[in-house]
């Protein structure tokens, strides 16, 4: 009798619960690496490109300190302070600098991180100068949050100025409890510390006078040396003493 033919072994079947798990593991994408933390944007001296104007208001002195006229100025983009026509002075925190120009004007610039700029509603600039016994106020200016520079014209020569820039934070919005209850003003957030810079404008007029006097004095010295040499030459070569020769005696 012939032996019955052997059938090939059947492949082992996976249990029903394990088959979906293997299919999901095979189709799942590889694990993604955690995104690297974005470094904070560095603080820039110049305003953003979408801020073409700087609104500011110069506050008058006296009882009308709350008034003032709103003005606009274009920011000083691409400005570089280069000697000898400009002298730069920085504050202790290095975030405020004053560029003193030779035309007796001062360009004040400050930088701020973008995260801090979103929490501000503007800046307050206070100016004062030192006299013989006390300090006197100059200008008080309110600047918009988009401002990063301000120009002070006609600064006096040889006077010690002090400029302080105070950031003004946004006013806190009232909470839901305050909206339901009686109206009560929310306490303002604590102000950020002010940055101050001191400088003294060099007396440009006196410096120009000194330079002119030095040039004139040098020219006079050169002329005196030339005159002395000319007199020595004339004395040596043209003005010899005349020695007469003895006349011959006549014979009788």
How does pLDDT run across 201-216, given as a tens digit for each residue?
876 555 556 556 777 7
d(CA 108, CA 116): 19
149 pLDDT above the threshold of 90: yes
DSSP conformation class of 182? S
d(CA 198, CA 97): 9
Q: What is the pLDDT of residues 1-58, one digit of tens each?
A: 555 556 655 655 545 554 444 444 444 444 444 445 544 445 667 777 777 899 999 9
Q: What are the strands of the beta sheet with 160-169, ordered from one edge? A: 70-73, 54-59, 135-143, 120-130, 160-169, 195-200
d(CA 54, CA 110): 13
Q: Write the CATH number of the domain with boundaries 54-172+187-200.
A: 2.60.40.10
CB 140 within 8 A of CB 108: no
CB within 8 Å of 162: residues ≥ 6 apart: 127, 128, 129, 130, 135, 196, 197, 198
Count Cβ neighbours within 10 Å for each residue of 15-33 and write b for 16 or more, e otherwise: eeeeeeeeeeeeeeeeeee
Q: What is the pLDDT of residues 93-148, one digit of tens each?
A: 889 999 999 888 999 999 988 788 888 999 999 999 887 777 888 889 999 998 99
Domain locations in the chain as residue ranges? 54-172+187-200, 202-231
């Amino acid at each position: 009798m012939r032996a019955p033919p052997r059938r090939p072994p059947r492949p082992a079947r996976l249990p029903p619960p394990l088959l979906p798990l293997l299919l999901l593991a095979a189709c799942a994408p590889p694990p993604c690496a955690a995104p690297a933390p974005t470094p904070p944007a560095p603080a820039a001296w110049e305003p953003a490109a979408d801020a073409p104007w700087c609104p500011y208001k110069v506050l008058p002195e006296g009882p009308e300190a709350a008034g003032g006229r709103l003005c606009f100025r274009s920011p000083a983009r691409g400005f570089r302070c280069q000697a000898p026509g400009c002298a730069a002075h920085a504050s202790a925190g290095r975030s405020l600098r004053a560029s003193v120009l030779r035309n007796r004007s001062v360009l004040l610039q400050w930088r701020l991180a973008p995260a801090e700029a979103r929490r501000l509603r503007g800046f307050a600039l206070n100016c004062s100068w030192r006299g013989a016994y006390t300090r006197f106020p100059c200008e008080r200016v309110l600047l918009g949050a988009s401002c990063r520079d301000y120009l002070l014209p006609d600064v006096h020569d040889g006077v010690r100025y002090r400029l302080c820039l105070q950031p003004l934070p946004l006013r806190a919005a009232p909470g839901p409890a305050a909206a339901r209850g009686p109206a009560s003003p929310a306490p303002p957030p604590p102000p950020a510390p002010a940055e101050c810079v001191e400088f003294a404008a060099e007396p440009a007029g006196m410096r120009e006078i000194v330079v002119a006097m030095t040039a004139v004095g040098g020219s006079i010295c050169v002329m005196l040396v030339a005159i002395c040499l000319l007199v020595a030459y004339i004395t040596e070569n043209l003005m010899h003493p005349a020695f007469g020769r003895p006349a011959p005696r006549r014979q009788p």
